[in-house]
Amino acid sequence: MIQIPQNFVIRQECAKVAFQNGFRRELGEVGGWAAFSSTTVPGTIHLAAADAEGPWFLALDHAGVIEELDLPIAEIPGPGLSRYTFETLGQLYSMLPRVYQLAVSLPDVPLREFLAKVKELPTTTEAERLVVQRIGQNIFRASLIDYWQSRCPLTDITDPALLRASHIIPWSQCETDEQRLDVHNGLLLSALWDAAFDTGFVTFDDSGCPLFSSKLGVAARNCLTWTKPVLLTDMHRRNLDWHRQHIFK
């Protein structure tokens, strides 16, 4: 099924699709699978093909990314923790940006960036602690933008100035920096939804549908329109359970 070794065309196309999507370190080919990694995200991707016309194959060893992808797993032998089939090269091209976005948002990636930026900063005074917090919140926002693909999942709003990085468990009530920076502890919401969520007038059930507080005014309720539920992972659901118990009015 997989061409072993890869011919020139397949080898070139694998290198091209990997390079254009952030996986720019070539690690060689084993058993028809070409491996690539990135200097900015963890893990390795493996690419293969039956022939130059397809199908094309992707293998991943990013456990966190695999959990997020809504793709059927292919029953083919190969490297990594799971493998996927794409009938055309275009389909593979359309999926790899999402793989990179999820990989760059894995909890340990923003945490490492945060620790590197604040390790030399003092935290003696309140002003100094606020500087550290602001750095963390900026990293958190950037991670949520990557994770949610630069759009509010409820409204499809994409204007950056109207999007807010909403903590589910607030920064001040998180127990660790990892929890503060975890994308599964956040939603990228448009400004009005963020304000309602942050103040407890809105929360979400396990299916991602909004729940509205009885204390929310009629005018505000009418303005909080949405087009589809938020796609949640089990990690989101655990944090939202806390939000429903402690923040929701």
User: pLDDT for 153-192, tens place per residue?
Assistant: 999 999 999 999 999 999 999 999 999 999 899 999 999 9
Task: Give dist(CA 110, CA 117) in Å, integer.
Answer: 11
Task: Categorize the per-residue pLDDT at 63 as very low, low, confident or very high, splitting at 50, 70 and 90.
Answer: confident
Give the total residue count for the chain. 249
Number of neighbouring beta carbons within 10 Å of residue 24: 14
Percent of the chain with pLDDT over 90: 76
User: pLDDT for 201-217, tens place per residue?
Assistant: 999 999 999 999 999 99
Q: Count the helix, strand and coil residues of the chain and give each as a percent rounded to the nearest 5.
A: 45, 15, 40
Q: For 172-189, b where at least 16 C-beta lie within 10 A, e where not — what string?
A: eebeebebbbbbbbbbbb
